[in-house]
Amino acid sequence: MNTKLERAQLALNQATNQRGNAFYPNFHLAPPAGWMNDPNGLIYHQGVYHAFYQHHPFSENWGPMHWGHATSKDMVRWQHQPVALAPGEEFDRDGCFSGSAVDDNGTLSLIYTGHVWLNGEGNDSAIREVQCLATSQDGIHFTKQGVVLTPPENIMHFRDPKVWQEDGHWWMVVGARDASDCGQVLLYKGTSLRDWTFDRVLAKADAGDGYMWECPDFFPLGDEHILMCSPQGIRTQGHDYQNLFQSGYLRGHWQPGQNFEITQGFMELDHGHDFYAPQSFTAADGRRIIIAWMDMWESVMPSKEEGWAGCLTLPRGLTLRDGKVRMMPAEEVCTLRREHRPLTPCVLKSSVQQLSENAQATEIILQWDLSHSDAERFGITLGDGLCLFVDKQTQRLFLNRDYSAYGIQDSRNVALPEGNLLELRVFIDRSSVEVFVNQGEKTLSSRIYPQPDKRALSLFAEKGQAMLSQGDSWTLSTE
């Protein structure tokens, strides 16, 4: 093991022993300590799920990127592994940036971006980014194999390779920013993980669609192909694109050797405050699963006071229905369920009904009958800070956060689905909430920061009545 990895692991072990836990998740993957952002190298390999992630083990703030690593048999119970990659070679001196993992004839192989600042740390005016390879015989310890792909002429931002095998070849998509500051996704074809040739520009931004397309992912879903990416630089438009950076997808058709025929432009994947850099992989049975970073750049992160920052979403199965990508928790998430409490159907008349005094790790499913609900606002609250509610006047579903002690006071919302039934499936952890609307038609994922003694979960209705036609809740545990 090289000394850089040893130093990273030693620092991480020391920080883990001192980490605070008030906001540390019960059932989401977070770093043992230090900083986490994008999930990387998600793969099912020889009976084990691997999740790598962008990691700074030396502090709770972003820094020179390492690859953290965790393994699981079921995608929901994770075991931390040693730090997998540390920067320090000439080609990745300032960071082992995002990438992916593949099985190369039984060898677990990581393809990642080596990042170097040419004019001082943090100065993006001059950088060098190349794609690199690292391999492992045991799935835990990795040996760097060096640079396998350099950027085209006039491309400086060139990162986040996603690699797969198809039609007898390797394929790679890479996010890029062209000379005129437009985001694009470049497609490469490989005879091996070391030998690549440029195939074509797979897709590029129209005016207003972002100056850099990060974390591209390209995969079949149903009878179509989905190009998933995280654009930087899309401006807010009404209720859409409210976060600093976005994550979403384009739909279309593709065959090896042909252009990607786009049939639908960029659509946001999640409408909460904290969702970025989703990456997909195939489960043991072939399901297409994604996991994303459940945070957002330049947002307030109160967990830093505890010596850590960042967590990942629950694994989500993707399906294509009615021309839209839907996300639902992977079925393995149901194995977290413990104590079950069915909720009695009721009509709330300008009232509050407490469901739990202390919702620390909870799943709740609520079915509201909108045709018999005329309250101006109704839904659920968690303590004083989180309110998920239907606004009948605007016909929208709102997720409001109010943690003024941390300078967090904001809102996200989506249009109510058509029809008279509104089903909300909500997962509450110590510092996160994930909301799935009508079987994944819409999702909202956000970090939350209630104080440990202010976690009462309640139903409410204001100025009228709201009919709950069915409901269930469970406590959740990874034990």
Q: What is the Cα–Cα distance from 242 to 447, expressed in whole angstroms?
A: 15
Q: What is the Cα–Cα distance from 80 to 34, expressed in whole angstroms?
A: 13
Mean pLDDT over 371-396 rounds to: 97
Neighbours of 206 (CB within 10 A): 11
Does one domain contain both 416 and 445?
A: yes
Q: How many residues does the chain have?
A: 479
Q: What is the domain count for the chain?
A: 2
Contact predicate 18/307, CB 8 Å: yes
Neighbours of 35 (CB within 10 A): 25
- For 370-441, strand residue ranges (E) read 377-382, 386-391, 396-403, 408-415, 421-429, 432-437
Helix (H) or strand (E) holding 9: helix 3-18
Q: Which domain holds residue 87?
A: 3-329
Does one domain contain both 31 and 126?
A: yes
Domain termination residue (choose one: 312, 329, 346): 329
Q: What is the pLDDT of residues 260-270, one digit of tens each?
A: 999 999 999 99
Q: Classify the C-alpha dihedral 73-75-80-84 as positive or negative.
A: positive
Does one domain contain both 163 and 28?
A: yes
At 179 the pLDDT is 87
Does one domain contain both 373 and 228?
A: no
Give me the residue label for tokens 């510092």. Answer: 431
Mean pLDDT over 197-216 rounds to: 93
Does one domain contain both 143 and 283?
A: yes
Q: What is the pLDDT of residues 102-118, one digit of tens each?
A: 999 999 999 999 999 98
At 208 the pLDDT is 84
Q: What is the DSSP string of 435-451?
A: EEETTTTEEEEEE----
Does one domain contain both 269 and 126?
A: yes
Radius of gyration of the chain (CA): 22
Asked if the model's pLDDT at residue 45 lies above 60, the reply is: yes
Does one domain contain both 339 and 322?
A: no
Q: Select from 128, 132, 161 the least CA-distant residue to 145.
A: 132
Does one domain contain both 103 and 133?
A: yes
Mean pLDDT over 93-101 rounds to: 97
Domain termination residue (choose one: 291, 306, 329): 329
At 2 the pLDDT is 65
Contact predicate 415/478, CB 8 Å: no
Does one domain contain both 464 and 341?
A: yes
Does one domain contain both 147 and 72?
A: yes
Mean pLDDT over 190-215 rounds to: 94
Q: What is the Cα–Cα distance from 121 to 126, expressed in whole angstroms?
A: 10
Domain termination residue (choose one: 266, 297, 329): 329
Going by pLDDT thresholds of 50, 70 and 90, the confidence category of residue 88 is very high
Q: What is the Cα–Cα distance from 244 to 235, expressed in whole angstroms?
A: 8
In this structure, are strands 66-72 and 78-85 parallel, antiparallel, or unpaired?
antiparallel
- For 169-222, strand residue ranges (E) read 169-177, 183-192, 195-204, 212-221
Q: What is the Cα–Cα distance from 210 to 234, expressed in whole angstroms?
A: 5
Phi/psi-derived region of residue 222, left when phi > 0, alpha when psi is between -120 and 50, beta in every other case: left
Does one domain contain both 305 and 375?
A: no
The reported pTM is 0.97
Looking at residue 158, which CATH number applies to its domain?
2.115.10.20
Asked if the model's pLDDT at residue 122 lies above 90, the reply is: no
Catalytic positions: 38
Give me the residue label for tokens 């008349």. Answer: 349
Per-residue exposure over 144-156, b if at least 16 CB sit within 10 Å of its own CB, e if not: beebbbebeeebb
Q: What is the Cα–Cα distance from 9 to 11, expressed in whole angstroms?
A: 5
Going by pLDDT thresholds of 50, 70 and 90, the confidence category of residue 323 is confident
Contact predicate 429/27, CB 8 Å: yes
Q: What is the pLDDT of residues 68-79, one digit of tens each?
A: 999 999 999 999
Q: What is the Cα–Cα distance from 378 to 431, expressed in whole angstroms?
A: 23
Task: Return the SS3 of 59.
Answer: coil
Burial of 11 (0-12, 13-18, 19+ CB in 10 A): middle
**Phi, psi (5° rounding) for residue 124?**
-80, 5
Looking at residue 376, which CATH number applies to its domain?
2.60.120.560
Reading the block at residue 152, the tokens are 């085209």
Does one domain contain both 267 and 404?
A: no
Give me the residue label for tokens 């499936």. Answer: 425
Contact predicate 417/437, CB 8 Å: yes
Reading the block at residue 58, the tokens are 């030396």
Angle 236-425-273 (CA atoms, 0-180°, nearest 5)?
25
Contact predicate 164/103, CB 8 Å: no
Asked if the model's pLDDT at residue 240 lies above 80, the reply is: yes
Q: Which one has a higher pLDDT value, 123 or 152? A: 152
Mean pLDDT over 55-64 rounds to: 97
Neighbours of 328 (CB within 10 A): 17
Q: Which one has a higher pLDDT value, 120 or 328? A: 328
Q: What is the Cα–Cα distance from 204 to 213, expressed in whole angstroms?
A: 8
